Structure 1
Amino acid sequence: MISTVVWGTGNVGRAAIRAVDAHPALKLTAVLVHNPDKVGRDAGQLCGLTHELGITATDDIDAVLAAGPTAVVYAASGDIRPDEALADITRAISAGAVVVTPALYPLYDQRNAPPEFRDPVLAAVADGGGSLFVSGVDPGWGNDVLPLLISGLGTTIDAIRCQEIFDYSTYDQEDSVRYLVGMGQPMDYQPLMLVETVPTMVWGGQIRLMARALGVQLDEIRETSDRRPLDATVSTRTMGEFAAGTQGAVRFEVQGIVQGEPRIVIEHVTRIHPSCAPDWPAPPGGGDGAHRVVIEGRPRIEVTVEATDEGENRSAGGNATAVGRLVGAIDWLVGAEPGLYDALDIPLRPAVGKLGRKQS
């Protein structure tokens, strides 16, 4: 069994604990938390299981890494703390661990990553013999392996579009929703996520990754965005009220331009309530969220994926599938040479040993 640590117990960490516990090749050996109120609580309780796992959460990073875990799922956020996340991750790699994480956007396409991110990781790999695989939480497979797989079914391809369609009203991360995305803010507020070049910083690596796999040269990467206000005040279960006239929906694209045309596109359509921007794409059946890949060409191919978790919550379902991709890569990484890997390196494999496996 591969001793595995989950570092962080937010939206991603909860799903990671469940995924590690369910994986037949992995053994959960520690859970790291930052919030002192979580220290000493059982991992099963923290991740929403109905039974205890016998692992109590700790904030003692030194002790956990000194125990020599084989793998670490780094589930702490890197949205507004990329330097701290990079330091944590390189620390685990230097301790010899295989690390999987969605936290470091610049390393989605590790071959073209900025040296200030890539070089510390490579130094940690050389020092400690660990490895790193980064894949997005939005989820990464929806912007790399799935569209690339489907592209192989076409005769001719004009464009590839990857969509995340998401209702934030059930998302349990208020600071990100209100301040990073800008939901509930005045329409003259500048959300950090939409500051020029930020979408490219976050999703440009996946555009470049797909271009590399498809054997095409990008002319450039462009960004477009649109925002809509709420017509009426709405109330959410997890984050309270969002006032009429404030931002209620965001739609943006990161476009990979090939021969002057947007050929590889990652699009996000996000709302705080389904009544906002009803003319924009919506999940089928009025659900909370969906991930869609559209291959424009001959034939035209469209695939929509909906996932539910944590009480029919599709936002949690997206997190769970993103985590499944990361956690499912651990045993492959353990058997591979130490290094820095991306989504084109890691095979998407069948769920061996999981069929029929029960988890409360």
Structure 2
Amino acid sequence: MVSTIVWGTGNVGRAAIRAVEAHPALELAAVLVHDPGKAGRDAGELAGLGHGLGVTATDDVDAVLATRPRAVVYAASGEIRPDEALADVIRAIRGGAVVVTPSLYALYDQRNAPPETRLSVLRAVAEGGGSLFVSGVDPGWGNDVLPLLISGLATTVDAIRCQEIFDYSAYDQEDSVRYLVGMGQPMDYEPPMIAPTVPTMVWGGQVRLIARGLGVQVEEIRESVERRPLGATVATEAMGEFKAGTQGALRFEVQGIVGGEPRIVVEHVTRIHPSCAPDWPATPGRAGAHRVVIEGRPRIEVTVEASDEGGNPAAGGNATAVGRLVNAVEWLAEAEPGLYDALDVPLRPATGKLGRSRW
């Protein structure tokens, strides 16, 4: 059994606890929390399992890392604290742990990461013998291994488009929805998520990963952004009202330019209500999905819908992304120490898991 800790118990951490507990080759050894109010609570309670796991959450990072866990699922946020997140991850790697995380955007495409960031991780690997694999929660597999897999079914490929299409009304992170994404804000408000260069910082690595998998060179990465106001005030159960005239829909693209044309595109289409921007791409169900479109011959379109935590699609997306990370731990524990990306780490079948849920 691979001794594994989960560091963080937010949206990603809850799913990570469940994934580690369900994995036949992993053992949940500890759970680290930042909020003192969560310390002392059972991991099963924090993960919403409805029963205890016999693992008590703690905020004592030193004590947990002193046990030298073989693996760490780092689920703490890296959006507003990237330097702190990187320091945490490096500390775990130096202790010999295999670390998987979605929190370090710059390392999605580790070969083209900022040199100082990449070098600091490689030093930690050399010193401690640990490893690192970073993949996104938007979800990473939808912007790397899935489009590459599907491209292999085509005779010719003209362009690849990866879409996240979501209704945010049921999302349970109000600060992110209102301030990071900008829903409900005046139209002259600039959401941090779409400030110039930020989309490229977050999703550009995934564009480059696809290009590397296809054996082509991205000449440049461009960004495009569209926003639409609400035509009428709408009410949501989770976050209250969003007033007419404020931002109700956001669409942006991160475009990989190949041969002078946008050939590899990661696109997000998000709404707070389906009445806003009805002409934009949508999914059969209101809540949302992830979609990959291969423009070529034949044209191929694959839509993936996932739900968790009572049918929540956002939780489902998080859970599949976490599944990709947690299911990589066993492979990483057997591999040589190193810095890995999505093209290095295989997507493996759920061997040994069919019918073995411990929930």
What pairs up with 1:334-345 in 2 under 5 angstroms?
Answer: 334-345=333-344
Is 1:312 the equivalent of 2:311? Answer: yes
Is 1:39 the equivalent of 2:39? Answer: yes
Q: Deviations over 1:114-172 (max 9, x none)?
A: 01321111111111110000000000000000000000110011000000001111212
What pairs up with 1:50-65 in 2 under 5 angstroms?
Answer: 50-65=50-65
With 178-187 and 339-348 compared, the bigger mean Cα shift is at 178-187
TM-superposed CA distance for 1:279, in Å, is: 1.2
How many Å separate the matches in 2 of 1:295 and 1:333? 31
Report what 2:352 is aligned to.
353
How many Å separate the matches in 1 of 2:216 and 2:42? 49
**Amino acid aligned to 2:172:** D
Report what 2:295 is aligned to.
296
Q: Deviations over 1:234-289 (max 9, x none)?
A: 22232222222111110000000011111000000011122211111112132x12
TM-superposed CA distance for 1:51, in Å, is: 1.0
How many Å separate the matches in 2 of 1:358 and 1:125? 34
What pairs up with 1:79-228 in 2 under 5 angstroms?
Answer: 79-228=79-228
How many Å separate the matches in 1 of 2:86 and 2:239? 29
Q: Deviations over 1:299-318 (max 9, x none)?
A: 00000000010001111000
How many Å separate the matches in 2 of 1:21 and 1:168? 29
How many Å separate the matches in 1 of 2:116 and 2:194? 23
How many Å separate the matches in 1 of 2:7 and 2:98? 13
How many Å separate the matches in 1 of 2:165 and 2:27? 34
TM-superposed CA distance for 1:176, in Å, is: 1.5
SS in 1 for 2:172: coil
How many Å separate the matches in 1 of 2:352 and 2:233? 48
SS in 2 for 1:153: coil
**Amino acid aligned to 2:311:** E
How many Å separate the matches in 1 of 2:281 and 2:124? 43
How many Å separate the matches in 2 of 1:141 and 1:260? 26
Unaligned runs of 5+ in 1: none
**Amino acid aligned to 1:304:** T
How many Å separate the matches in 1 of 2:186 and 2:117? 34
Report what 1:73 is aligned to.
73
**Amino acid aligned to 1:10:** G
How many Å separate the matches in 1 of 2:358 and 2:245? 44
RMSD: 0.9
Q: Deviations over 1:8-29 (max 9, x none)?
A: 1111000000000000000001
How many Å separate the matches in 2 of 1:241 and 1:37? 29
**Amino acid aligned to 1:298:** R
TM-superposed CA distance for 1:210, in Å, is: 0.7
How many Å separate the matches in 1 of 2:116 and 2:270? 31
How many Å separate the matches in 2 of 1:35 and 1:306? 32
Report what 2:332 is aligned to.
333
How many Å separate the matches in 1 of 2:47 and 2:273? 26
With 21-30 and 227-236 compared, the bigger mean Cα shift is at 227-236
How many Å separate the matches in 1 of 2:46 and 2:300? 40
**Amino acid aligned to 1:90:** I
How many Å separate the matches in 2 of 1:63 and 1:18? 23
**Amino acid aligned to 1:111:** R
SS in 1 for 2:285: helix
SS in 1 for 2:99: strand
**Amino acid aligned to 2:176:** S
TM-superposed CA distance for 1:329, in Å, is: 0.2
Matched positions, count: 359
Q: Deviations over 1:176-213 (max 9, x none)?
A: 21111111111100111111111000000011111111
Report what 1:276 is aligned to.
276
How many Å separate the matches in 2 of 1:266 and 1:208? 11
**Amino acid aligned to 2:313:** R
> Among the aligned pairs, what percent are the same residue?
81
Report what 1:264 is aligned to.
264
Unaligned runs of 5+ in 2: none
SS in 2 for 1:38: coil
How many Å separate the matches in 2 of 1:106 and 1:308? 28
SS in 1 for 2:330: helix
TM-superposed CA distance for 1:359, in Å, is: 3.5
TM-superposed CA distance for 1:226, in Å, is: 0.2
**Amino acid aligned to 1:302:** E
Report what 2:233 is aligned to.
233
How many Å separate the matches in 1 of 2:31 and 2:155? 48
TM-superposed CA distance for 1:40, in Å, is: 0.6
SS in 2 for 1:116: helix
